[in-house]
Amino acid sequence: MTRFAISFDSPVGRLAIAEEADAIVAIGWGAHPDGEPTPLLCEARRQLAAYFGGGIRRFDLPLAPPGSPFERRVWTAMQAIPYGETRRYGELAMELGSAPRAIGRACGRNPIPIVIPCHRVLARGGIGGYSGGAGLATKRALLALEAASPPSRELVGTCEPRWVGGSMPQV
């Protein structure tokens, strides 16, 4: 199968988005060789820019995260956590009939962070872990973004977002 990818700068670092078979399969941090930006990759970039700009609270993208059936159940449960809210590993474990550590492992293996919001899952005694970007600093920035209404931003263009006005916590 052909895999396409683009990368771009975001308020939480350089992000790369990968598409395979007309679905998003990965979002990661760092520079990746850019390919031809497909319509889906441009839409994913546009939605991420709108999310960081406070324009959307829910993503509408076809997703196909590679993982075990259990991991996919956990990732589906994470997508049900509303914007601005959090759940504990133990709460998701009870909901799915599992253990908190298994939920934590599935969170750490989430191949599509931000869109599948593993940053909204916290430990019983604190923030928990985060494997993306700058780790806990990235998780805190995403939680802070969702906790307050950020300044309004305009999205300029369809595949080349620019930030206009205001500021998002940088990591």
Q: Looking at the annotation, which residues are catalytic?
A: 118
Largest interatomic CA distance in the chain: 45
Q: Which helix (H) or strand (E) holds 103?
A: helix 100-108
Q: Tell me, what's the pLDDT at 161?
A: 43
CA 14 distance to own-chain centroid: 13
**Residue 119 reports pLDDT greater than 60:** yes
For residues 92 and 164, give the distance between their C-alpha atoms in angstroms, rounded to a whole number. 37
State pLDDT tens for residues 41-90. 999 999 999 999 999 999 999 999 999 999 999 999 999 999 999 999 99
State pLDDT tens for residues 22-45. 999 999 998 766 677 899 999 999
Pairing outcome for strands 23-29 and 13-20: antiparallel
Query: Whole-model pTM?
Result: 0.85
Domains and CATH numbers, the chain: 3-52 (no CATH), 69-147 (1.10.10.10)
Q: Tell me, what's the pLDDT at 78?
A: 97
